[in-house]
Amino acid sequence: MEDGPIPAIHGVVRWRLIDLAQWVFEEFRVSISKPTLSRELRRMGFRKLSARPRHHAQDPETAPDFKKGFPPSWARSRAKQPRGTPIEIWFQDEARIGQKNKITRRWARLGTRPSAPHDQRTSSAYIFGAVCPVEGKGAGLVLPCCNTEAMALHLEEISAAVAPDAHVVLVLIQAGWHVSKKLPVPSDITLLPLPPKSPELNPVENISQFMRDNWLSNRVFKSHEDVLDHCCYAWNRLTDMPWTIMSIGTREWAYRS
């Protein structure tokens, strides 16, 4: 179950109950009904969950190695600051929100297929978001594009949200506008890029999904200005919920000493 089927052998790319029942019969010559198999799988702790995309070229050791080495990384940032300087760990990312919007799961009666509005227009904006899970605070901007100039504005916004005399270790993916030599970085921020092809290490992806699921999906935006208004509304709602930022954004590996 955990490894999944081998398409060339089993003829499917994901297990369905009927496929598993067939496999059990072929392997053990035991006939089992789908309801019984479903109950047994649930008893064993299995649930039908959405898979998170993973880059096909990702090294499986990349994420574990980064997590092990993360505390020493920000400890080195602390060593470069005056003694007693508090360190805040922030995570940053961008989310594209547009008229061609997402459709999420919703409650509906068994046997029906619910519908949701879906636009084909492509006007969009970007939410530049950063959160400090320990403090439950965030700093965001809604901007028209992703480039070095936009990132510089966001760094200024993050710098303004930092506690007095504190220094920020900002964890972010290796996008071109994040690692550009032309990017002006405030003196109270140290950038710490994530390993290549490992965006799942960034909890801001989960923050963005939370905003999509609760405030931005299943709707049609009337205009570009409407997109901007809803992006600002979603981010402001999020920052009014510090416990949500703490719950979604906290990663134990980031704070091990």
Mean pLDDT of 47-66: 74
User: Distance (Å, rounded) from C-alpha 137 to C-alpha 250?
Assistant: 12
Sequential DSSP letters for 43-54: HTT----PPPP-
Domains of the chain: 7-43 (no CATH), 62-254 (3.30.420.10)
Q: Decide if 146 contacts 66 (C-beta within 8 A).
A: no
HSE value, Cβ hemisphere, 13 Å, CA-based, for 182: 7
Question: For 97-117, how does the pLDDT look when each residue is reduced to its tens digit (9 = 90+)?
Answer: 987 767 777 777 877 878 777
Look-up of token digits 């930092």:
162
The CA distances from residue 136 to 8, 48, 92, 113, 114, in Å, are 47, 31, 14, 38, 35
Question: For 114-166, how does the pLDDT look when each residue is reduced to its tens digit (9 = 90+)?
Answer: 877 777 777 889 999 999 999 999 999 999 999 999 999 999 999 999 998 89
Question: For 169-206, how does the pLDDT look when each residue is reduced to its tens digit (9 = 90+)?
Answer: 999 999 999 999 999 999 999 999 999 888 889 999 99
In 3D space, the residue among 10, 4, 8, 12 whose CA is nearest the CA of residue 48 turns out to be: 4
Question: Which amino acid, 21?
Answer: A
CA 210 to chain centre: 9
Q: Decide if 148 contacts 177 (C-beta within 8 A).
A: yes
Q: At what angle do helices 34-43 and 17-28 cross, to 10 degrees?
A: 90
In 3D space, the residue among 168, 158, 170, 172 whose CA is nearest the CA of residue 188 turns out to be: 168
The model carries a pTM of: 0.79
Question: For 72-102, how does the pLDDT look when each residue is reduced to its tens digit (9 = 90+)?
Answer: 666 666 667 777 788 899 999 999 998 776 7
In 3D space, the residue among 256, 197, 245 whose CA is nearest the CA of residue 90 turns out to be: 245
pLDDT computed for residue 162 by the predictor: 94
Give the DSSP letter of residue 214: I
Mean of the per-residue pLDDT values of the chain: 87
pLDDT computed for residue 74 by the predictor: 64
Look-up of token digits 């005399």:
165
Helix, strand, coil in percent for the chain, rounding step 5:
40, 15, 45
Query: What are the CB-based long-range contacts (under 8 Å, 24+) for 79-82?
Result: 80/190, 81/167
Whether residue 47 is predicted with pLDDT greater than 90 in this model: the reply is no
Q: Over pLDDT 70: what percentage of the chain?
A: 91
